[in-house]
Amino acid sequence: MNGPMFTGIVTDIGEVVGVEKRGDIRFVIATSYAPESIAVGASIACSGCCLTAIEMSKSKVGRGTFTVEASAETLSKTTLKNWKAGTRINLERALKMGDELGGHIVSGHVDGLGEIISITPEDDSKRFRFKAPDDIARFIAQKGSVTLDGTSFTVNEVESNQFGVNIIPHTQAVTTWGHAREGDAVNIEIDMLARYVARLAEFGKS
């Protein structure tokens, strides 16, 4: 696979602390990652969107920051167009050789925008139901994997262009999902294995 890889296991909740217009949009993101551990050009998945760190700085309040740029194309196809100072985002650094693959293989390329249509408590967990665009809903399968705002989930059920996932208390606590609300837009990346299987099926019909 070309390019960086991720697993959909969130390792920090970042916060947008600055938005700058310089041709493309620059976002300054506060993080608990040590700035000196981030190289210029490093790839970081920001709520599921693979972005390149172009600047780093230390903070006086214990958190560092890194800066990324987003093109008009990226803004048009992701939730980044809604980011502003105070927006909380899920962060994951790119895999290194030997790292544990805790979720599933994720590229950080958002396929489309979904919407949270309901959140229902189930004991200590919450059942989230999403609506996906028709062109990517066909790749989402029961018991398959899907990446939502950079988080790897197993799909519980599928009905037409809607699907549900169960989010346990731990995941709610260490990601932005604990503050998600009905009507929120989410970045969706479909499982690349599902994409390849669908592509092979198309060849089989030809």
pTM surpassing 0.85? Answer: yes
Q: Are residues 125 and 84 in the same domain?
A: no
Residue 202 pLDDT: 61
Residue 107 within a domain: no
Residue 158 pLDDT: 96
Residue 190 within a domain: yes
Residue 38 within a domain: yes
pLDDT in tens, 136-189: 998 999 999 999 999 999 999 999 999 999 999 999 999 999 999 999 999 999
The residue written with tokens 């970042």 in the block is 14
Distance CA(118)–CA(160), nearest Å, equals 16
Residue 96 pLDDT: 75
Q: Are residues 64 and 147 in the same domain?
A: no
* Element of type H or E holding 76: helix 72-77
* List of E strands, the chain: 12-22, 24-31, 43-46, 49-57, 64-70, 88-93, 112-122, 125-131, 145-148, 151-154, 157-159, 162-167, 185-190
Q: Are residues 195 and 122 in the same domain?
A: yes
Q: Is the pLDDT of residue 204 over 80?
A: no
pLDDT in tens, 118-143: 999 999 999 999 999 999 998 999 99
Q: Is the pLDDT of residue 206 over 60?
A: no
pLDDT in tens, 11-52: 999 999 999 987 789 999 999 999 999 999 999 999 999 999
Q: Are residues 82 and 163 in the same domain?
A: no
Distance CA(51)–CA(176), nearest Å, equals 18
The residue written with tokens 């300054």 in the block is 28
